[in-house]
Chains A and B, each alone.
Chain A
Amino acid sequence: MAEPTMTMTQWVKRLTFYEILVGMRATLSVFVHRIILRNRRAVTLQYPHEKRDLPGTYRGMIALLRYDDLSEKCVGCDLCEAACPSRVITVISAEKEGEPMKRYAKEYSMDMTRCIFCGLCVKACPVDALAMTTEYEWAVYNKRDLLLNKQQLLALGDRNFPEREKKIELQHHNVTFFNIGHQDLPVMTSQEPPVTP
């Protein structure tokens, strides 16, 4: 208490609890503005009743997409599985029947308990078959319910992206490597660049 540098004003401030009173005035002023003057609002969002507006780039649950003719986009290339840092994705790819050069994901499952929602699989996908939805309310009682199979992932895509991409062969320049069957190749005309959406 007896620091030599202590001035008279400091003494008075300490004796009258000046700093504490200043703090108490601050809390009381918030209280008065909230309750009596009514010109201050709570920052609380009453979550289950009201929800935040999410940005379109929000990284929620991952979905598999379809083309507008309801065929799956996925070509079973396994690149998402390779890109995934937490080994969420398992792809078993197979040949399309009757089209030996075309492949598709026979089984596609995601273990969402491990997913870190980094979005690398979406970046890695050469045919834009994966997308991140804005769904986030996926609390479940059984952990196994988060092991999503292909049907569930496609359903996620169906309900979150009702507008589907038009299916054109060669629509993406990468598609040439993965998605070309030799049967129904469209006729390439001279030097036209590949059509991109």
Chain B
Amino acid sequence: MDQMIFAGVTLAKIVLVMAVVLLTVAFLTLAERKVLSWMQDRMGPMEVGPYGILQPLADGLKLFFKEDIVPAGANKLLFSLAPILSFVPALIGFAVIPYGPNKEIELFGYTIRPFVITDINIGILYILAFTSIGAYGIILGGWASNNKYSLLGGLRAAAQVISYELNIGLAIIGVLILSGSLSMVKIAEAQAGGFWHWHIFGGLQIIGFVVYVISAVAETNRLPFDLPEAESELVAGWMTEYSGMRFAFFFMAEYTNMVLVSCIAAVLFFGGWQPAFPKTIVEYLGFPNLAWAESVFFWFPLKVYFFLFLFFWLRATLPRLRYDQLMRFGWKVMLPLALANVLLTSIAVFFFRQ
């Protein structure tokens, strides 16, 4: 019976998180178009609903009812598998993100942890492992399409994702050393007590943070690192032959990855749900019972949406890199910086923690 209750509660949490994430993804497409147009003296979508806020629904309906074309000569199995392979790993990562304080609630005699789906002790490793599988979706999609542009996009994605995943892995090691844990919950808890305790400021992980953000942009194939997609060179890269819902899956995978990467950045470097002061604002006002609500509904979204805005901001500003620049930047600049960060952090921790 206990297991049944546990499974039910976990399922409810999964459904809730899935719903919120997919809703965020849907309106992220609109937010991106709006922010980009505001930065470029345009208006963005204005037709569907007031100020175009129903545009995601229209887009979704359109994609849902579109003809689903599988090109002749395509490998049907891999062609169908690729969108799933890129979308599912992106969603799986949200299982270990802490959305709020890790406190236990007694409900009808059962203890539940409402703000994290599951706290596994290798959380960040788990996310990294699954996002690597997402690269297979891109590569297989590019290969299975039987199209030269798709193949080129897939090849580029393979090289790019592998190069930059290495940097992500190295950039977060400093944080892991400082928190002494791979669990996302423990990492967030280690940064309690004001913004000067966050790893980016308190742990002096600024290099690691910069390397992480740049590599994360490259990892999610966003501008200025969108070489696998590269409209002006490769039509749409690995997505060229995809249409209808399969294309929508790739599209959602890209945005879900953005949200996931932003959540990780918020948890690792900006303290996750931790407020910027030693206590939350409602605690200062005298409502300590509502502190969790402020963390969940204000501080965590604030940090995540800041990073999402950063994605749009970078896209509005920077042109696409050339392929050799991308590789040189990844291997000759980012990698040494990340390694130096690991070295310096470990030396500092060795001397100051003793």
The answer to whether A1 has its CB under 8 Å from any CB of chain B is yes
Knowing A20-B317, A24-B313, the reply to whether A42 touches B39 (Cβ < 8 A) is no
The answer to whether A147 has its CB under 8 Å from any CB of chain B is no
Flag B40-52 by CB within 8 Å of A: 1 or 0 each. Answer: 1111001000000
Cα separation A24 to B313 with both chains bound (whole Å): 7
Task: Give chain A residues whose Cβ lies under 8 Å from the Cβ of B39.
Answer: 27-28, 30-31, 34
Cα separation A152 to B228 with both chains bound (whole Å): 52
- How many A-B pairs have beta carbons closer than 8 Å: the answer is 39
The answer to whether B314 has its CB under 8 Å from any CB of chain A is yes
Task: Give chain B residues whose Cβ lies under 8 Å from the Cβ of A43.
Answer: 41-42
The answer to whether B316 has its CB under 8 Å from any CB of chain A is yes
Cα separation A24 to B314 with both chains bound (whole Å): 7
Other A-B pairs, 12, CB within 8 Å; known A31-B38, A43-B41: A20-B317, A20-B318, A24-B314, A26-B317, A28-B39, A30-B41, A31-B35, A31-B39, A34-B39, A41-B41, A42-B41, A46-B43
Q: Name which residue of chain A comes closest to B37, CB basis.
A: A42
Residues of B within 8 A of A (CB-CB), count: 15
- B residues 268-321 near A (Cβ < 8 Å) are 313-314, 316-318
Task: Give chain B residues whose Cβ lies under 8 Å from the Cβ of A40.
Answer: 41
The answer to whether A183 has its CB under 8 Å from any CB of chain B is no
Knowing A1-B332, A31-B35, the reply to whether A42 touches B42 (Cβ < 8 A) is yes
Task: Give chain A residues whose Cβ lies under 8 Å from the Cβ of B35.
Answer: 31
Task: Give chain A residues whose Cβ lies under 8 Å from the Cβ of B42.
Answer: 42-44
Task: Give chain B residues whose Cβ lies under 8 Å from the Cβ of A20.
Answer: 317-318
Knowing A1-B332, A27-B313, A28-B313, the reply to whether A35 touches B318 (Cβ < 8 A) is no
| A34 and B313 form a contact (CB under 8 A) | no
The answer to whether A193 has its CB under 8 Å from any CB of chain B is no
- A residues 31-53 near B (Cβ < 8 Å) are 31, 34-35, 40-44, 46
The answer to whether A23 has its CB under 8 Å from any CB of chain B is yes
Cα separation A1 to B317 with both chains bound (whole Å): 24
| Residues on A facing B (Cβ under 8 Å) | 1, 20, 23-24, 26-28, 30-31, 34-35, 40-44, 46
- Chain B's nearest CB lies how many Å from the CB of A14? 9
Task: Give chain A residues whose Cβ lies under 8 Å from the Cβ of B316.
Answer: 27
| B317 and A27 form a contact (CB under 8 A) | yes
Q: Name which residue of chain A comes closest to B214, CB basis.
A: A17
Give the contacting residue for A23; candidates B37, B38, B43, B317; CB below 8 A: B317
- B residues 131-162 near A (Cβ < 8 Å) are none
Cα separation A26 to B39 with both chains bound (whole Å): 9
Cα separation A124 to B313 with both chains bound (whole Å): 55
Give the contacting residue for A46; candidates B40, B46, B332; CB below 8 A: B46
- Chain A's nearest CB lies how many Å from the CB of B86? 29
Top-3 shortest CB links A-B:
A44-B43, A27-B39, A42-B43
Could you list some 29 contacts between A and B, CB below 8 A?
A1-B332, A20-B318, A23-B317, A23-B318, A24-B313, A24-B314, A24-B317, A26-B317, A27-B39, A27-B313, A27-B316, A27-B317, A28-B39, A30-B41, A31-B35, A31-B38, A34-B38, A34-B39, A34-B41, A35-B38, A41-B41, A42-B41, A42-B42, A42-B43, A43-B42, A44-B41, A44-B43, A46-B43, A46-B46
Cα separation A34 to B318 with both chains bound (whole Å): 20
- Chain A's nearest CB lies how many Å from the CB of B71? 29
Cα separation A23 to B39 with both chains bound (whole Å): 12
Q: Name which residue of chain B comes closest to A26, CB basis.
A: B317
Task: Give chain B residues whose Cβ lies under 8 Å from the Cβ of A24.
Answer: 313-314, 317
Cα separation A46 to B46 with both chains bound (whole Å): 9
Cα separation A169 to B64 with both chains bound (whole Å): 67
- Chain B's nearest CB lies how many Å from the CB of A160? 29
Cα separation A28 to B332 with both chains bound (whole Å): 30
Cα separation A31 to B42 with both chains bound (whole Å): 11
Q: Name which residue of chain B comes closest to A34, CB basis.
A: B38
Cα separation A1 to B333 with both chains bound (whole Å): 10
Task: Give chain A residues whose Cβ lies under 8 Å from the Cβ of B43.
Answer: 42, 44, 46
- Chain A's nearest CB lies how many Å from the CB of B301? 19
Cα separation A28 to B46 with both chains bound (whole Å): 22
Flag B116-139 by CB within 8 Å of A: 1 or 0 each. Answer: 000000000000000000000000
Give the contacting residue for A30; candidates B38, B314, B318, B332; CB below 8 A: B38
Cα separation A42 to B46 with both chains bound (whole Å): 12
- Chain B's nearest CB lies how many Å from the CB of A129? 42
Task: Give chain A residues whose Cβ lies under 8 Å from the Cβ of B317.
Answer: 20, 23-24, 26-27
Cα separation A28 to B35 with both chains bound (whole Å): 10
Task: Give chain A residues whose Cβ lies under 8 Å from the Cβ of B313.
Answer: 24, 27-28
Cα separation A43 to B41 with both chains bound (whole Å): 6
- Chain A's nearest CB lies how many Å from the CB of B245? 28
Cα separation A87 to B37 with both chains bound (whole Å): 43
Task: Give chain A residues whose Cβ lies under 8 Å from the Cβ of B318.
Answer: 20, 23
- Chain B's nearest CB lies how many Å from the CB of A40? 7
- Chain B's nearest CB lies how many Å from the CB of A177? 55
